[in-house]
Amino acid sequence: MDMRRLGRTDLSVSRICLGTMTWGQQNTEAEGLAQMDLAFSRGVNFLDTAELYSIPPKAETQGSTERIVGNWMKARGNRDRVIVASKVVGRTQMEWFRGGRPSKLVRADIFDAIDKSLQRLQTDYIDLYQLHFPERKVMWGSNPTRYGKWPADRYDDETPIEETLGALDELVKAGKIRHFGVSNESSWGVMRFVAEADKGIGPRVASIQNAYNLVNRTFEVNLAEVCEREDVALLAYSPLGQGYLTGKYANGARPEGARSTLFNRGQRYETPNAAEAIADYCALAQDFGMEPALFAAAFVLNQDFVASSIIGATTMAHLETALAAADVAWTKEMQDAVDAVHQRVGNPCP
């Protein structure tokens, strides 16, 4: 498994990062432990979790994936060989994170979150601590394809970025986190974090975790240049578009046990023209003799600006396919074919 440097940090992370958000609801703890064993036997050293997980967010399962990761590291005695990434929620009305009140990216809430995450993970530090989503009013994912998708107003009590950075700086100095990243962020947001750090306010942003896949290449529009010039590493989530790019939801199908069947949370990949675009990419994969899931995963892994692709699996067979993408010889012919489809269908699922 190839390793890549995470931004300007001293962290070397595997090209594939194992996501954990299904563990605790869609997957059992035993299944999560087995997934980590397999992934790490194949050279993965990078895990992504969050205080919000498992998905969908519920009070009774909140924090379950961090607990499973913590139990695995304790049982295997391998904390020093694992790069652990976790996240603090942004502004949310879900009250169970902070013990009965809404949460924001203020010092008290960030400190409350980190201490609870460290306890669940059974560790005294997190390698990469990420802001799960901005506190500002933005479209989820923060990369809309039309300006009209941006909210016109702002919160009156929006927490300044420098205040959030100040809290993160305290955590770095206390040794509770090594580096920090953002998630579901925009070009403006990344540059504001960079600018404040360049002024000496808090640590420098190391990474951004945004959706990136065949039907959502909006990262390439502005964020790719920002992140390349500022050394901010992309951790690409949803390389398979929540499973839609496997083709399993074609023609309205709802396979038993699949995420959209269980939770009805696939609206991001059910937008106008999405089904047609997904069908085109699935057909393209077959033209190259690959199953659609392998083709979609390999596409993400082979874009130069992707530091690591965050894979998620609900079965060991799914995980085997995702890991196999690291061995695909991605060709110029494949890239040109994908780009030709993208030129025609654009980004239907931002």
Domain assignment present for 7: yes
Residue numbers of the chain with a pLDDT score lower than 50: none
What is the spatial distance between Cα 234 and Cα 226, in angstroms, rounded to a whole number?
11
Alpha helix locations (H) across the chain?
29-41, 64-76, 107-121, 161-173, 187-198, 223-230, 259-263, 274-287, 292-301, 316-324, 332-345
Strands 12-14 and 3-5: antiparallel
| Other CB atoms within 10 A of residue 74 CB | 13
CA–CA distances in Å: residue 322 to residues 34, 39, 54, 143, 187: 15, 10, 20, 25, 29
Q: Which residues are CB-contacts of 274 (< 8 A; sequence separation ≥ 6)? A: 215, 244, 348, 349
Rounded Cα distance, 267 and 142, in Å: 16
Residue 350: inside a domain: no
Residue from 327, 321, 184, 338 nearest 240 by CA: 321
Q: Which of 53, 237, 244, 281 is catalytic?
A: 53
First CA to last CA distance, the chain: 29
pLDDT score at 152: 74
Does 33 reside within a domain? yes
Helix-strand-coil split of the chain, %, nearest 5: 40, 15, 40
Q: What are phi and psi of 239, to 5 degrees?
A: -60, -25
Structural domain range at position 309: 3-345
Query: Would residue 281 show up in a list of annotated catalytic residues for this protein?
Result: no
pLDDT (tens digit per residue) in 71-81? 999 999 999 99
What's the pLDDT at 91? 95
Total structural domains within the chain: 1
Looking at residue 252, its pLDDT comes to 83
CATH number of the domain at 268, please: 3.20.20.100
Question: pTM here?
Answer: 0.96
